[in-house]
Amino acid sequence: MGTANKSTSTRPRARLAVAGLGRMGTVHAENVAFRCPSAQLAAVFDPRPEVAARVASEVGATAVPGYDELLGDPALDGVVVAAPTGVHADLALRAAKAGKHVFCEKPLSLERDATLEVVTALKGAGVNLQVGFHRRFDPSFSAAADRARAGELGDVYLFRASQRDMAPPRPEFLAGSGGIFIDMGIHDFDAARWLVGEVASVSARGTALSGPGFSEIGDFGTAVVVLTFAGGALGVLDISRVAGYGYESSAELMGSRGTVRIDEPFLRGYEWRSRGVANRPLVQSFDRRYSSAFVAELEHFARSIIDGAPPLVTGEDALAAFDLARAADKACRLGQEVSMAPAGQVGKDGAAVVAAARPGVPGRDR
Residues that bind ligand NAD in the complex, under the rule CB under 6 A: 19-25, 45-48, 51, 67, 82-85, 87, 91, 105-106, 132, 134, 173, 183, 286
User: Quick one: 32 or 156, whose CB is closer to ligand NAD?
Assistant: 32
Closest CB 313 distance from ligand NAD, rounded Å: 11
User: Quick one: 26 or 207, whose CB is closer to ligand NAD?
Assistant: 26
Kindly list the strands in the beta sheet with 39-45, ordered across the sheet, starting from the edge strand earlier in the chain: 62-63, 39-45, 14-19, 78-81, 101-104, 129-131
User: Quick one: 36 or 82, whose CB is closer to ligand NAD?
Assistant: 82
Closest CB 31 distance from ligand NAD, rounded Å: 12
Number of Cβ within 10 Å of residue 258's Cβ equals 13
The SS3 assignment for 24 reads helix
CA dihedral 203, 263, 274, 277 (to 10 degrees): 20
Give the CA distances from residue 176 to residues 117, 180, 315, in Å, rounded to whole numbers and listed in that order.
20, 11, 21
User: Quick one: 95 or 153, whose CB is closer to ligand NAD?
Assistant: 95
Closest CB 53 distance from ligand NAD, rounded Å: 12
DSSP letter for 230, please: T
User: Quick one: 106 or 205, whose CB is closer to ligand NAD?
Assistant: 106
CA dist 189 and 341 (Å) reads: 16
Measured at CB, which residue is nearest to ligand NAD?
Answer: 22
Closest CB 234 distance from ligand NAD, rounded Å: 25
Closest CB 67 distance from ligand NAD, rounded Å: 6
CB 120, CB 126: distance < 8 Å: no
Give the CA distances from residue 18 to residues 66, 95, 142, 196, in Å, rounded to whole numbers and listed in that order.
12, 12, 26, 33
